[in-house]
Copies of this chain bind each other. A is one copy, B any other.
Amino acid sequence: MDRRPIGVFDSGLGGLTVLKEINRYLPNEDTIYFGDTARVPYGPRSKETIIKYTFQAINFLKSKNVKAIVIACNTATARALVEANESYDIPIIGVIEAGARAAAKTTKNKKVGIIGTAGTINSKAYNKAIKSIDKKIQVIGKACPLFVPLVEEGWANKEISSTAAHMYLDSLIERGVDSLVLGCTHYPILKRTIGEAVGSDIKLINPAKETALDIKKKLEDNNLLNTSEKKGNCKYFVSDINEQFSKVAGEFLKRKITDLEKVEIHRY
C-alpha cells in the first residue's frame, strides 16, 4: 500500500475531465493536478519544446512526491510520452493508448471516428495507436476547432453547440463509423450534446474514463494502490492564475476549487 499522490498534468484545464474520472474510479487516492496555463496551448509548439515543458511538469510533480503520473493532454502524450518513459522511472501513462484500445474493442464494423483539435487530428496519433492494435480498422479523423471555445464559454449544453456538433459530425455519420473517440480532454463536457447529434447507434468513447481505468490497473499491478478508506484529496497547481480557471474548473469538476497555487514552472 502506497499513500503517495497520483500526479495529473495537462497543458491547461482540459485534463480536469481526466482528474474527475481518476477521482471516480480511485476515490481513495490523493491527487496533484498541474495545468500549464501560462504556456497553453501546446498544439502549435515544436516537439522539442513540448518535451521540455512536459519534463518540467514531471519534475514539478516528482517534487511533490507522486507515485505515478498521468499526462492528461493529447498533444503532450503524442509528442512526449515515449521520451518521458525513457527518462523517468516512475509509471507515466498518457490518454491516447487507453482511448485507442477502447475504440478497437468497441467497434463492430471496424470504422472508428476520432474528433479532436486540429493538432491532435493532424498528428494522426490515434490512427497510429488504433492501427497498431488492429490494422484492419479504418480510422476517420475530424478536427472540431469550435468545441473547445464552446466548452470554455460554458455553452456546452446550449443550442449553438448542438448546431456545431451537427456541422462537424454529420459527415462522420454518413461515412458509417460505429464508434467515436472524444479525442480532446474538453470534449467529455459536450458528451450529451455530441451523443444527441450522432444518435445512440454510435458509441462514444471517453479516453478520460479509459485512462482512469488504466492507471488503476497500473497501480494494482505495481502494488501502489492506496487502500486506506479515507476519501482522497486533490491539490491544484497552475503556472498562471486567471479568472478563467474557477469558471472552467467549476464547469469541468462540478465542485469548488479551494486549494489552488501558482508554480514558477520554468524553474523545474
| CB < 8 Å neighbour of A167 from B39, B40, B146, B155 | B155
The smallest beta-carbon distance between A148 and chain B, in angstroms, is 8
State whether the Cβ of A174 lies closer than 8 Å to any Cβ in chain B.
Answer: no
Is the Cβ of B155 less than 8 Å from the Cβ of A145? no
State whether the Cβ of A44 lies closer than 8 Å to any Cβ in chain B.
Answer: yes
- Measured in the bound complex, the distance between the Cα atoms of B149 and A155 in whole Å is 15
State whether the Cβ of A263 lies closer than 8 Å to any Cβ in chain B.
Answer: no
Is the Cβ of A149 less than 8 Å from the Cβ of B160? no
| CB < 8 Å neighbour of A146 from B44, B146, B159 | B146
State whether the Cβ of A2 lies closer than 8 Å to any Cβ in chain B.
Answer: no
Q: A160-B163, A160-B167, A164-B160 are in contact. Are A149 and B145 (CB under 8 A)?
A: yes
Residue interface mask A147-166, B partner, CB < 8 A = 1: 00110110100111001100
Copies in the complex: 2
| CB < 8 Å neighbour of A159 from B44, B118, B152, B163 | B163
| CB < 8 Å neighbour of A153 from B39, B145, B159, B160 | B145
Q: A44-B40, A163-B160 are in contact. Are A149 and B146 (CB under 8 A)?
A: yes
Residue interface mask A58-70, B partner, CB < 8 A = 1: 0000000000000
Q: Which residues of B contact A163 (CB under 8 A)?
A: 159-160, 163
**Which residue on chain B has the smallest CB distance to residue A155?**
B167
- Measured in the bound complex, the distance between the Cα atoms of B87 and A210 in whole Å is 54
The smallest beta-carbon distance between A263 and chain B, in angstroms, is 16
Segment 77-123 of A: residues with Cβ below 8 Å from B:
118
Segment 212-261 of A: residues with Cβ below 8 Å from B:
244
- Measured in the bound complex, the distance between the Cα atoms of B44 and A118 in whole Å is 19
- Measured in the bound complex, the distance between the Cα atoms of B155 and A167 in whole Å is 10
| CB < 8 Å neighbour of A150 from B38, B44, B118, B146 | B146
- Measured in the bound complex, the distance between the Cα atoms of B159 and A193 in whole Å is 18
Q: Which residues of B contact A167 (CB under 8 A)?
A: 155, 158, 160
Q: A40-B44, A44-B40 are in contact. Are A152 and B145 (CB under 8 A)?
A: yes
17 further A-B contacts with Cβ under 8 Å, apart from A146-B146, A149-B149, A160-B163, are A38-B44, A39-B44, A40-B44, A118-B244, A145-B149, A145-B152, A145-B153, A146-B149, A146-B150, A146-B153, A155-B167, A158-B167, A159-B163, A160-B160, A160-B164, A160-B167, A163-B163
